């Protein structure tokens, strides 16, 4: 093995290890944030729709971390779904006196993201079909 190949292997190892450590930190921090949010809900003794959206966001982040550990890649649709959930939470939390254009813009962003998630799921379906055709 040449000197250049060793250098590339070391950089690859460092990148893989860094990804795993950072994702573990993200997973732990997400669990801590979820527990803090649940504790705040307990203190207030009230659960509103925005709280449920926030819990979904925590769950989706954990699912994204788990997907990376199981498949070594993060499906593009998961961050899109997290963004949709976050926008829905913003829409629900907004004051009734908000400018209608802002709400329309946020709703439009949700529709655009939903379209993007649908297109990405079609891409994944086509990729899986091509892979199955090659294996046959």
Q: Are 78 and 63 in contact (CB under 8 A)?
A: yes
Geometric angle at alpha carbon 61, from 58 and 63, rounded to 5°: 110
Q: Quick one: which of 113, 116, 120 has its CA closest to 85?
A: 113
- Residue 34 pLDDT: 98
The domain limits of the chain are 3-135
- Residue 2 pLDDT: 60
Helical (H) or strand (E) element with 116: helix 100-135
- Residue 4 pLDDT: 65
- Could you give the CA distance from residue 13 to residue 109 in angstroms, rounded to a whole number? 38
- Residue 35 pLDDT: 98
- Could you give the CA distance from residue 23 to residue 29 in angstroms, rounded to a whole number? 10
Q: Three-state SS string across 25-53, please?
A: HHHHHHHHHHHHHHHHHHHHCCCCHHHHH
- Could you give the CA distance from residue 76 to residue 96 in angstroms, rounded to a whole number? 33
- Could you give the CA distance from residue 131 to residue 66 in angstroms, rounded to a whole number? 23
Say if pTM beats, i.e. exceeds, 0.95. no
Q: Print pLDDT tens along the chain (136 aa).
A: 566 666 667 778 888 889 889 999 999 999 999 999 999 999 999 999 989 999 999 999 999 999 888 887 777 888 999 999 999 998 888 877 788 899 899 999 999 999 999 998 888 777 767 767 777 6
- Residue 1 pLDDT: 55
């Amino acid at each position: 093995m040449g000197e250049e190949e060793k250098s590339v292997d070391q950089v690859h190892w460092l990148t893989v290890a860094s990804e795993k450590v950072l994702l573990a930190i993200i997973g732990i921090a997400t669990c801590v944030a979820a527990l803090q949010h649940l504790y705040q809900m307990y203190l207030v003794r009230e659960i509103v729709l925005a709280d449920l959206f926030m819990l979904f966001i925590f769950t989706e982040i954990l699912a994204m971390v788990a997907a990376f550990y199981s498949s070594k890649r993060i499906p593009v649709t998961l961050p899109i779904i997290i963004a949709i959930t976050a926008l829905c939470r913003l829409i629900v939390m907004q004051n009734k006196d908000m400018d209608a254009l802002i709400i329309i813009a946020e709703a439009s962003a949700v529709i655009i993201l939903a379209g993007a998630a649908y297109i990405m799921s079609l891409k994944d379906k086509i990729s899986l079909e091509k892979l199955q055709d090659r294996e046959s």
